Chains A and B, each alone.
Chain A
Amino acid sequence: MVYSITLRFLTLAILWTGLGVLKLENMLNGQFFWQAAAFSVLVFIGIFIEYFFGYTGDKNLLPVVQTIMAIGLVFLVRVNPALAEDQFVWANIGLVLYYFIVFGLRDYRKLEEYQYLWGLAALILLIVTLIFGVTIHGATSWLRIGHLSFQTEELVKVVLLLFMASYLDNNKELLRIGTAQVGRFSLPDKKTLGPFALIGVFVLGLLAAQKSLGTALVFFLLIIFILYMVTERPLYLVISVPVMLLTGIVGYLLFGHVRLRIATWLNPWVDSTGGGFQISQSIFAISGGRILGTGLGNGIGAYQIPHADTDFIFAVIAEELGFLGAMAVICLFIVLVMRSFTVSVRATDRFGQILAAGIGTLIGVEALIILAGVTKMLPLTGLPLPWVSYGGSSMLVHFMLLGLLANISHSSSLTFRDAPIQRRIGGVLG
């Protein structure tokens, strides 16, 4: 209890200090006070909800995410106050959604029963988006209903994870051993691998058709890592490398914008006012931060970098908080990803294990790809940084994932406590 309260206090201290500094610098008018107050209340209510429902799962998951979010909210207020108002609303709804999933969802294992429905839902969501969707920044990944537009590929992350976890739980052994012999390798037969591969290929194909290349890359890596974790066959990892290279080369030859991406990645300075503008401005901002940063509100990246409120928000953080602040954000993500894997290892059922590991992998891969893009270590693919970049869809979906993670953690801790000693050991090893 004391631990939970301390962590919440630290998180809110970051939020209010950040907003206070922005207020002192006259970059903020009063409108954020009530928003931030509502957020703070929701954060504290969480302690009582956890206490009331007897939450015994991982105590660090939510505070870590709330800290990431506090940093994200402060920077969104700094970069784009108008969008930050919306983001506060999404953050508050997200928190409520999280509490609902942790404590309202009685047993996450029930979700396993709908395995093909999840797969089908993923495909339908993407197809509907492709047909009726709205194109923003070149990617057709938004569905508009009235005033609200929703990025469906975010929701696909949840349903696809549920599909994979349930499917792999049911077919794990077959995938691991393999029945069909191809040369020296034994591969799973068509019947076992078929549906999984089919949905995987369709999802990736549809994303490519929407031109959401970043998300496609995330899903590809997610599928590969999950297959590897479940089957423990390095084959899947090994296969992924030539597949990725081949896809990259085909993409490079077929699409002009992929060629442009690669060219600006290799040398953004040649055309630093045109195609290389984003990435070179991002690098100027990051390098200007040096170790201690320019100080909150003092950077130039917030004005210079296009999409500083979404894909490039990390560059602004790295500039204004410096290497230390950027490392703090990276460390928070490392902690979150590692805690997810811990939840996975401690989970008592395979579905929960696969799902938790999948969520951890997803968050890790997302963060890595966009951060590597912003720092010019990989070609840039537009992706939101979970809980930091502006975006309601991403915020809500990641809270759903976090809710599932906490739910698994909670359930396994209960089973753990009730189980006899032998089973407890077996649970860890199995």
Chain B
Amino acid sequence: MSGVRRVALIMVFSFVFLSLGLVYWQVVKADTMLDHPANRRAVFLQERITRGTIFDRNGVVLAQTKVIEDRKVRVYPQREMFQPLLGYATVKYGSAGLEAAKAETLLGFNDISFIHRLQNVFELDRQGNDIVLTLDYGLQKVAYEGLKGKEGAVVALNPQNGDVLALVSQPSFDANTLEKEWTKIINSQGSPLLNHAFAQFPPGSIMKIVTSAALFHAGLDTTELYSCQGSVIINGQTITEQNHKVHGWVNYDLAMAYSCNTYFAEHGLEAGLQSFIESAAAFGFGKQIPFELYVPISSLKNGEPIPSHLDPNLFAASTFGQGQVMISPFHVALITAGVANNGKIMTPKLIDRVLDSKQNIIYESTPEVWLTPLSEAEAAKVKNGMILAVNQGTASPGTIPGVQIAAKTGSAEPGGNRKTHAWYVAFAPAEDPVIAVAVLVEHGGAGGEAAAPIAKAVIEKALKMKEGM
């Protein structure tokens, strides 16, 4: 019966064809299917795996999964203080913040090495990885208490290694009661779910740090005196000083100290558009900040982060941070830290290390330089201007007895008839900075009044902790 052999062949070929079908689904299409919206695998796995704990740099618990009455509950012991940075992870409303961005790490999905998978095959009670943040509970608390009741953001960095020490956004919410109060939260004033540290605002006079670089690069003599008349007409547009002050004869240092708009507008134009745009790019405008969370790209012009052309009026306004310049408080903090760190901006780090369920370190952050917008000498010049601003200029409300700090204020017009956004950036001690802070109080008025006390409190706390160590 040779028919038997042929039918046998047909059978074998059919089975081989069938196994090709398995290859298609299990190898070729495996990832596509995992991402399919109707596929509930990820949700199921999350319910079965215990999410890792999130700690601050000293081991204070920020988020933790506890078993309460046989149910896994995500608990945030610090309530509002670290929100919306930490975010949430719920079945009903999805996830946000760090809980969303680092979900794979917290659930332990990131290391799918062959050996690891083999080990996991018969291991049931899965535990995700723990994340130790660079945040410091003490600093975060001071910043949070300072900003509470206002709208805005505080970002504190270690300028030497890029560690994010505090990141506060107000208003915030309590993720413990998120599901219960969802409608209330999303309808309340000031967008509590939005991280204001990553939202964009006009920088106002803080931008003068960037413009300074343009002056240096163009080779302008910064010791030369300039007469500030209180206002100047450029290309038919009148540029005025804040509160119509007349600063008189100023050089670069004094212009920084008094935050003289006309000096920077005229010298910026003299340095040239090319120099200004290149300096902005060197400080990270138009670039994606390499960070664990998404930070929008800072831009000089609407829809064109690094424009090929700016008309003279817009250019003049941009030199002191008005016009269409938009930047996040987080990026402002990085720029400040760059000045503090001799012109080198370190890559910001929020995650210090990741520990697997057996407390083995599976990731540890290492400091790396992101950008070098200023040379050491140029950074020293900007620093001197900022020191003078503290000692005899607009930034004096931030003065701390016994410690030299360097700072810059900003009062940015948000458009319309609303109060200006208050900015205050600072680092200390000026000679060897251990902390750089950026504070934004939305519609807070002048930077020296609304924002400076918060920055001062954070710096004092940081210096006290440094002494205690």
Write the residues of chain A forming the contact surface with B, with a CB cutoff of 8 angstroms: 21, 24-26, 225, 228-232, 269, 272-273, 280, 283-284, 286-298, 300, 303-304, 318, 322-323, 326-327, 330, 333-334, 337-338, 341, 344-345, 353, 357, 360-361, 364, 368, 371-372, 375-377
Interface string of B6-22 (1 = CB under 8 A from A): 11101110110111011
Interface set, chain B 65-113, CB cutoff 8 A to A = none
In the bound complex, CA of A136 to CA of B22 (Å): 30
In the complex, the 8 A-B pairs of residues with the closest C-beta atoms, listed nearest first: A295-B121, A287-B33, A229-B3, A272-B38, A375-B21, A341-B8, A232-B3, A323-B26
Other-chain contact of A377, B2, B6, B21, B41 (Cβ < 8 Å): B21
B309 CB–A CB distance under 8 Å: no
Other-chain contact of B7, A228, A326, A330 (Cβ < 8 Å): A228
Contact B33 A283 (CB under 8 A): yes
Contact A290 B122 (CB under 8 A): no
In the bound complex, CA of A270 to CA of B100 (Å): 28
Other-chain contact of B11, A230, A273, A297, A337 (Cβ < 8 Å): A337
Other-chain contact of A326, B22, B34, B38, B118 (Cβ < 8 Å): B22
**Nearest CB in chain B: distance from A385 CB, A:** 12
Given A338-B12, A375-B21, A357 and B120 contact (CB-CB distance below 8 Å): no
In the bound complex, CA of A344 to CA of B39 (Å): 46
Contact A287 B124 (CB under 8 A): no
Contact B124 A25 (CB under 8 A): yes
B36 CB–A CB distance under 8 Å: yes
In the bound complex, CA of A376 to CA of B29 (Å): 13
Residue of A nearest to B26 (CB): A323
Q: Is the interface of B mostly helix, strand, loop or mixed?
A: helix
Contact A327 B19 (CB under 8 A): yes
Given A269-B36, A280-B38, A287-B34, A318 and B26 contact (CB-CB distance below 8 Å): yes
> What are 30 A-B pairs at a CB distance below 8 A?
A21-B122, A24-B122, A24-B124, A230-B3, A232-B2, A269-B36, A272-B38, A280-B38, A283-B33, A284-B36, A287-B30, A292-B118, A295-B121, A296-B122, A300-B44, A300-B45, A323-B23, A323-B26, A330-B22, A334-B12, A334-B15, A345-B4, A345-B5, A357-B7, A361-B7, A361-B11, A364-B11, A364-B15, A368-B11, A375-B22
Other-chain contact of A368, B14, B23, B121, B124 (Cβ < 8 Å): B14
B27 CB–A CB distance under 8 Å: yes
Residues in B neighbouring A300, C-beta threshold 8 A? 40-41, 44-45
Residues in B neighbouring A269, C-beta threshold 8 A? 36, 38
Given A287-B25, A327-B19, A337-B11, A357 and B36 contact (CB-CB distance below 8 Å): no
Residue of B nearest to A320 (CB): B121
B1 CB–A CB distance under 8 Å: yes
**Nearest CB in chain A: distance from B198 CB, A:** 34
Residue of A nearest to B14 (CB): A368
**Nearest CB in chain B: distance from A292 CB, A:** 6
Residues in A neighbouring B287, C-beta threshold 8 A? none
Residue of B nearest to A354 (CB): B1
Residues in A neighbouring B5, C-beta threshold 8 A? 341, 345
**Nearest CB in chain A: distance from B189 CB, A:** 38
Residues in B neighbouring A330, C-beta threshold 8 A? 15, 18-19, 22
Residues in B neighbouring A229, C-beta threshold 8 A? 1, 3-4, 6-7
**Nearest CB in chain B: distance from A294 CB, A:** 8
In the bound complex, CA of A25 to CA of B25 (Å): 28
Contact A344 B41 (CB under 8 A): no
Contact A284 B121 (CB under 8 A): no
Residues in B neighbouring A304, C-beta threshold 8 A? 40
Contact B15 A368 (CB under 8 A): yes
Other-chain contact of A341, B4, B38, B44, B45 (Cβ < 8 Å): B4
In the bound complex, CA of A344 to CA of B23 (Å): 32
**Nearest CB in chain B: distance from A139 CB, A:** 24
Residues in A neighbouring B30, C-beta threshold 8 A? 287-288, 290
Contact B117 A292 (CB under 8 A): yes
Contact A291 B26 (CB under 8 A): yes
In the bound complex, CA of A174 to CA of B32 (Å): 55
Other-chain contact of B1, A230, A287, A326, A372 (Cβ < 8 Å): A230
In the bound complex, CA of A25 to CA of B48 (Å): 13
Residues in A neighbouring B8, C-beta threshold 8 A? 337-338, 341, 360
Highest count of chain A CB atoms <10 Å: which of B4, B14, B117, B124:
B4
Other-chain contact of B34, A288, A327, A361 (Cβ < 8 Å): A288
Residue of A nearest to B15 (CB): A334
**Nearest CB in chain A: distance from B394 CB, A:** 60
**Nearest CB in chain A: distance from B47 CB, A:** 10
Residue of A nearest to B123 (CB): A295
Other-chain contact of A286, B10, B26, B45 (Cβ < 8 Å): B26
**Nearest CB in chain B: distance from A285 CB, A:** 8
Highest count of chain B CB atoms <10 Å: which of A26, A272, A300, A326:
A300
Other-chain contact of B41, A288, A323, A360 (Cβ < 8 Å): A288
**Nearest CB in chain B: distance from A24 CB, A:** 7
**Nearest CB in chain A: distance from B55 CB, A:** 28
Residues in A neighbouring B2, C-beta threshold 8 A? 232
Residue of A nearest to B9 (CB): A341
Highest count of chain B CB atoms <10 Å: which of A228, A284, A296, A304:
A284
Residues in B neighbouring A280, C-beta threshold 8 A? 36, 38
**Nearest CB in chain B: distance from A324 CB, A:** 10
Contact A333 B36 (CB under 8 A): no
**Nearest CB in chain A: distance from B8 CB, A:** 4
Contact B33 A288 (CB under 8 A): yes
**Nearest CB in chain A: distance from B95 CB, A:** 19
Other-chain contact of B4, A21, A231, A291, A357 (Cβ < 8 Å): A357
**Nearest CB in chain A: distance from B30 CB, A:** 5
